[in-house]
Structure 1
Amino acid sequence: MFAVHFIEKDNVLLTQLLNHVPTEGEELRIKGRKAKVSSVKNVDELNIHVHVTLEVVKKSKFVVDNTKKKKR
């Protein structure tokens, strides 16, 4: 088992004990967000740093439908 630390821009997002280590280019979901592995670095025999880039999702604005309002 390996202690895998998922890091994005010097921020530790998640630390897990895993049986296998993710590879470069692999798609992951961390805390409900899509991430892609950019690099994998072995710190020692048990600790591994996995650098990820999170996908930025732009939220669309809510559109109000005024046609269903009651007319007076």
Structure 2
Amino acid sequence: MFVVHFFENKKLLLVQLRNQVPAVGEDIKIKGRKGKVSDVNSVDEKNIQVQILIEKVINKNKLVVDPKKKRR
């Protein structure tokens, strides 16, 4: 069992007790957000630090307000 610390730009996102250490390039989902493992550092035999890159969420459904339909 390993204690895995997940970081994004020096910001701690999650600490998990896992059987396997994630590999570099592996797709991962943390707190509902998709990401990719960029770096894995071993602090000691039980503690592992994992750097991840979170994908940016693009909202395509933006509401366009028609000025003619505005209430007066």
Structure 1 and Structure 2 fold alike (TM over 0.5): yes
Identity %: 56
Give runs of aligned pairs for residues 13-32 of structure 1, distance below 5 A: 13-32=13-32
- What is the TM-score normalised by the length of structure 1? 0.85
What's the Cα RMSD here? 1.5
Give runs of aligned pairs for residues 51-62 of structure 1, distance below 5 A: 51-60=51-60, 61-62=62-63
- What is the TM-score normalised by the length of structure 2? 0.85
In structure 2, stretches of 5+ residues that fail to align are none
Q: How many residues align?
A: 66
In structure 1, stretches of 5+ residues that fail to align are none
- State the match for 2:11 in structure 1: 11
- State the match for 1:34 in structure 2: 34
Q: After TM superposition, where is structure 1 displaced by more than 3 Å over at least 4 residues in a row?
A: none
